[in-house]
Amino acid sequence: MTNGTGHGENGDRDRSPEEAALSERLGNLDQRLSEFRDRHVKTEQPAGDGEDRAARASAMALGFRLSSELVAGVVVGAGIGWGFDRLLSTSPFGFIVFLLLGFVAGVVNVVRTAGAGQNRRGGS
């Protein structure tokens, strides 16, 4: 160990320029980071934090709507298929067919809704 013992002083003298250079580099890095943070924060905040939150909320609402339309299509298709199987005694076939039809209907609704959202944004 060279910290503060007899012949460690030569090692401390040898390391001193390295430590000084490292300390200087660390100070420069800290200064550059603080300047970058100041520029980044100044350019982000005036843009309108409320507008950013509103955009995120709108996107989240659209995502929930799209996912609920897809799930609703699958659930309604499965329910109709299960009902047909109970009434007609066609065990898994009605359920499978209407489950697939419900999935297709859900995907069509999602594509239609997402397309309408893009047309609205593009038009205004």
The whole-angstrom separation of Cα 111 and Cα 103 is: 12
Largest CA distance in the chain: 97
**Could you read off the pLDDT of 56-107 as tens digits, one per residue?**
888 889 899 999 999 999 999 999 999 999 999 888 899 999 999 999 999 9
Half-sphere exposure of 40 (CA within 13 A, CB side): 6
20 belongs to a structural domain = no
- 7 falls within a domain: no
Residue 41 resides in a domain? no
Residue 42: inside a domain: no
User: DSSP label at 90?
Assistant: -
- The answer to whether residue 49 sits within a structural domain is no
In a domain, 80, yes or no: yes
Which pLDDT band, with edges at 50, 70 and 90, does 51 fall under? confident
**What's the domain count of the chain?**
1
Please state, in angstroms and rounded to a whole number, the distance separating the CA atoms of residues 98 and 76.
9
Structural domain including 79 reads: 62-117
Predicted local distance difference test score (pLDDT) of residue 14: 55
124 part of a folded domain? no
Q: How far is CA 84 from the centre of its chain?
A: 41
What pTM does this model have? 0.52
* Residue among 115, 112, 121 at smallest CA distance from 58: 121
Burial class (CB in 10 A: 0-12, 13-18, 19+), 57: exposed
Tokens of 32: 């550059």
